[in-house]
Chains A and B, each alone.
Chain A
Amino acid sequence: MAGGREIKTKIKSVQNTRKVTRALEMVSASKIRKAQDLMKASRPYARLMRQVIGHIAKANTEYQHPFMVARPEIKRVGYIVVSTDRGLCGGLNSNLFRRMIPEIRELSDRGVEIDVVAIGSKANAFFKRFKVNLVGSATHLGEKPQLNALIGVIKVMLDAYTEGRIDQLKLVYNDFVNTMTQKPTVDTLLPLPPSNGLSTTHEWDYIYEPGPEVVLDHVLTRYIESLVYQATLENLASEHAARMVAMKAASDNASKAIETLSLIYNKARQAAITQEISEIVGGAAAV
């Protein structure tokens, strides 16, 4: 019975792999819901923040914040890249990086330099091998990312923008469309895209306490933070969805492999038995 043992061992090992992939699949399935709840919970803040920004843009502000002014020449671009902390989530991260790379390449061909801030260990690992400046990183955010963990990396970029070290700031993440679809997305954070100036006829302004500079600075910083936070949550939901799908495919493949291996094993056993019998019969006939 040639190879019977080996095939048996192989079946066992595939079965074990299937156990692992099944478990990962189920864990992700339950985590998607939680991640989606988090996404929903943080939406009102982003929505109201956008409203406030809209009002500010409409109001007749005598002061132009640097975040709102586009710069004529772009010498350096900052990227905030949101990735996952763990792997085994299909092509989620590689698709995201692939979406970015042509853009980065095009910019560096034009002599524009790139600064990157990495959120998640995968982006961290990827960009330290890549020819860009990694200026900040935040990893191991866990299942319930806190804004606290992101403040640092965001501040690195906002400071760079205020001091004129970068002229544009972009946010790269996976947009959670649904369980089957996650869309790699690049958004421009700074300068803030101009709002459609329909209602510039408004002849009113806020009372600012203490003053427009301070308040606007504060509001815009919080706005950017909320956008990055939202992106992190989107990416988390995407991660679980992608992992669930990838692990489901892996489990299915494992089942098929087990089936095939069992068939091969049974055939081998049958062949061995047949051979034995024919040997016995042959032997008996010879006597």
Chain B
Amino acid sequence: MSTIRCDIVSAEEEIFHGSAQMIVATGEMGELGIAPRHAPLITRLKPGQVRVILENGEEQFFYVSGGILEVQPQVVTVLADTAIRAKDLDEAAANKAKEAAERALANRTDALEIAQAQAELAQALAQLQALERLRKALKH
């Protein structure tokens, strides 16, 4: 029986890797069943299940919250999104990043305590270096 190689990965980890009889996923235009020697295809995935039918007929399920499915003659690649994504959410994230920058510009006393502690430690290190130099000078 012919099989096709299947890789499912997300940006944060590798999820599945192996050969399969068939891969079933929810594409943007509808349910897709990919059998070996499918024509090259690339599509976006809708949030939902990816079902992989293994060589021995066993089935494995993976949940993806979106992503990309690419079909090549020998290999099917699923690039899954880990995050739940929507246009509005992305927009909100972009705005948040901009705000963070503005806040940083406006507010210069951010995390003052940590900075202070760090400054003290840095000072101690500088003292150490000075002592080190002193030690060398003493030797000569």
Q: Chain A interface (Cβ within 8 Å of chain B)?
A: 13-14, 17, 20-21, 38, 41-42, 44-45, 48-49, 51-52, 55-56, 59, 86-88, 117-118, 121, 124-125, 128, 134-139, 146-148, 151-153, 155-156, 159, 204-210, 214-215, 218-219, 222, 225-226, 229, 250, 253-254, 256-257, 260-261
Per-residue CB proximity of B1-29 to A under 8 Å, as 1/0? 00000010111111001000000000111
* Cross-interface CB contact of B44 among A124, A159, A218, A257, cutoff 8 Å: A218
Q: List 13 A-B contacts (CB under 8 A).
A: A44-B9, A52-B42, A52-B79, A117-B97, A124-B101, A128-B104, A134-B104, A152-B90, A152-B93, A208-B42, A209-B28, A219-B68, A226-B11
B101 & A135 in contact (Cβ 8 Å cutoff):
yes
A88 & B124 in contact (Cβ 8 Å cutoff):
no
Q: Min CB distance, A78 to chain B, in Å?
A: 13
- Residues of A within 8 Å of B122, CB to CB, are 87-88
- Residues of B within 8 Å of A20, CB to CB, are 121, 124
A253 & B68 in contact (Cβ 8 Å cutoff):
no
A250 & B125 in contact (Cβ 8 Å cutoff):
yes
**Chain A CB within 8 A of B37 CB:** no
* Cross-interface CB contact of A156 among B92, B98, B132, cutoff 8 Å: B98
Closest chain B residue to A229, Cβ basis: B11
A49 & B79 in contact (Cβ 8 Å cutoff):
yes
Per-residue CB proximity of B64-81 to A under 8 Å, as 1/0? 000110101000010101
- Residues of A within 8 Å of B43, CB to CB, are 208-210, 215
B97 & A136 in contact (Cβ 8 Å cutoff):
yes
Report how many A-B pairs have Cβ atoms within 8 Å.
Answer: 173
* Cross-interface CB contact of A250 among B111, B128, B134, cutoff 8 Å: B128
Q: Chain B interface (Cβ within 8 Å of chain A)?
A: 7, 9-14, 17, 27-29, 39-44, 67-68, 70, 72, 77, 79, 81-83, 85, 90-98, 100-101, 104-105, 108, 110-111, 118, 121-122, 124-125, 127-129, 131-132, 134-135, 138
B100 & A207 in contact (Cβ 8 Å cutoff):
no
B128 & A137 in contact (Cβ 8 Å cutoff):
no
Q: Min CB distance, A60 to chain B, in Å?
A: 11
A136 & B135 in contact (Cβ 8 Å cutoff):
no
A48 & B77 in contact (Cβ 8 Å cutoff):
yes
A204 & B128 in contact (Cβ 8 Å cutoff):
no
A209 & B29 in contact (Cβ 8 Å cutoff):
yes
- Say yes or no: A260-B94 contact (C-beta < 8 A), given A134-B104, A147-B12, A226-B11: no
A139 & B100 in contact (Cβ 8 Å cutoff):
yes
- Residues of A within 8 Å of B40, CB to CB, are 55, 59, 204-207
A42 & B11 in contact (Cβ 8 Å cutoff):
yes
A48 & B79 in contact (Cβ 8 Å cutoff):
yes
- Residues of A within 8 Å of B11, CB to CB, are 42, 45, 147, 222, 225-226, 229
- Residues of B within 8 Å of A21, CB to CB, are 125
B41 & A210 in contact (Cβ 8 Å cutoff):
no
B28 & A210 in contact (Cβ 8 Å cutoff):
yes
- Say yes or no: A260-B131 contact (C-beta < 8 A), given A41-B14, A87-B122: yes
Distance between Cα atoms of A42 and B28 in the complex (Å): 25
Closest chain B residue to A43, Cβ basis: B14
A135 & B104 in contact (Cβ 8 Å cutoff):
no
Q: Min CB distance, B32 to chain A, in Å?
A: 8
A87 & B118 in contact (Cβ 8 Å cutoff):
yes
Q: Min CB distance, B104 to chain A, in Å?
A: 5
B100 & A136 in contact (Cβ 8 Å cutoff):
yes
Q: Min CB distance, A57 to chain B, in Å?
A: 13
Closest chain B residue to A56, Cβ basis: B42
B13 & A88 in contact (Cβ 8 Å cutoff):
no
Closest chain A residue to B96, Cβ basis: A152
- Residues of A within 8 Å of B82, CB to CB, are 146-148
A136 & B98 in contact (Cβ 8 Å cutoff):
yes
Q: Min CB distance, A151 to chain B, in Å?
A: 5
- Residues of A within 8 Å of B13, CB to CB, are 41-42
